[in-house]
Chains A and B, each alone.
Chain A
């Protein structure tokens, strides 16, 4: 078995100024491709959001998931990401989102569940250090006794795995339920009647500002796995901008599953 470990890799951090939702979608594809091709070292990217958004999963129906009229009314852009999983409701100050672009060698021979658990472990440790007892809840949630904290999604491309996570720092549940169509069937085995109750934000559990939570997360990653500051390269930005124009910003992509 030749599975590699976190410390076998030279981890880089990208934590750029706030970027628009479509560019985030494109950066995930561009950076996954670069890591998969061996042109970029394995990377952790911490997202900062420039605008509110609903991010739907690769296989979700646009019409079934999003109330388009409500989204327009609230000025919320709807974008589609490259990974499966469910819709995320994003407001810039309320959300902590990050991507791990890892070599596939790290998950060689692992089941999907083991792969999610492996990629979530450092953030569970960071949450523990912040006083939150959280765990990986299969298939793809990060949960605490007070409720769901976040959700993960993975996809693979070339030689790399993308594992990205959105956690709720705070949440406007009324607005979320206005924009997302969360069906009864989806909640049928969650043991709760209220979708709003499903998410318990980090703000109430830590009492810390969002930036402090992010800083603590990065500290934990750095201590456990090593992490050197890095930035987007010119060609990566060009590639991502092209992907916005030719793919992520097109109706063909956003309504690919209408």
Chain B
């Protein structure tokens, strides 16, 4: 499943993932945003991996926030934008 979200005033945020046993799997965030340090990217993917697909946005956002390395800086991307891209990917998947 694939979802894209061009954050207003920001960059393109892309989510690719699969669903296995009702859980998010193979979660892969990508895009032309800026993220420091770059280890924040795999940390975000790992924070979402295995979460029940029924999780609400607040739960997923909290999981991502908690996984970010100390002092992470985002430019052109936000936790909210990541969740929009995720929801779009899941929506697309639901109709596939």
Q: Using CB atoms and an 8 Å cutoff, list the residues of chain A in contact with chain B.
A: 57-61, 64, 82-87, 112, 138-140, 153-156, 183, 185-186, 188-189, 257-258
Query: Main secondary structure on chain A at its contact with chain B?
Result: loop
Quote the shortest CB–CB distance from A88 to chain B (angstroms): 11
Evaluate contact between B6 and A153: CB separation under 8 angstroms. Answer: no
Return chain B residues, CB-CB under 8 Å to A58: 35, 38
Contact A59:B36 (CB < 8 A) given known A138-B9, A186-B6: no
Evaluate contact between A59 and B38: CB separation under 8 angstroms. Answer: yes
Contact A84:B35 (CB < 8 A) given known A112-B75, A139-B11: yes
Return chain A residues, CB-CB under 8 Å to B33: 59, 84
Contact A153:B34 (CB < 8 A) given known A183-B12, A185-B12: yes
In this complex, how many residues of chain B approach chain A with their Cβ under 8 Å: the count is: 25
What separation, in Å, do the CA atoms of A85 and B34 have in the docked complex? 6
Which of B24-32, B47-55, B59-67 sits within the interface? B24-32
Within 8 Å of chain A (Cβ to Cβ): is B69?
no
Evaluate contact between B4 and A84: CB separation under 8 angstroms. Answer: no
What separation, in Å, do the CA atoms of A112 and B33 have in the docked complex? 12
Return chain B residues, CB-CB under 8 Å to A64: 2, 14, 16, 30
The one of B6, B10, B14, B75 in contact with A61, judged by C-beta atoms closer than 8 angstroms, is: B14
Quote the shortest CB–CB distance from B4 to chain A (angstroms): 4
Evaluate contact between B30 and A112: CB separation under 8 angstroms. Answer: no
The one of B4, B5, B6, B32 in contact with A57, judged by C-beta atoms closer than 8 angstroms, is: B32
Evaluate contact between A84 and B32: CB separation under 8 angstroms. Answer: yes
Evaluate contact between B32 and A86: CB separation under 8 angstroms. Answer: yes
User: What would 5 more interface pairs be, CB under 8 Å, given A59-B33, A138-B9, A154-B34?
Assistant: A60-B31, A64-B30, A186-B32, A189-B6, A257-B30
What separation, in Å, do the CA atoms of A189 and B76 have in the docked complex? 14
Evaluate contact between B6 and A155: CB separation under 8 angstroms. Answer: no
5 interchain pairs, CB-CB under 8 A: A84-B75, A86-B32, A87-B32, A112-B34, A257-B41
Chain B residue nearest to A186 (CB atoms) is: B12
The one of A59, A139, A189 in contact with B41, judged by C-beta atoms closer than 8 angstroms, is: A59
What separation, in Å, do the CA atoms of A58 and B76 have in the docked complex? 14
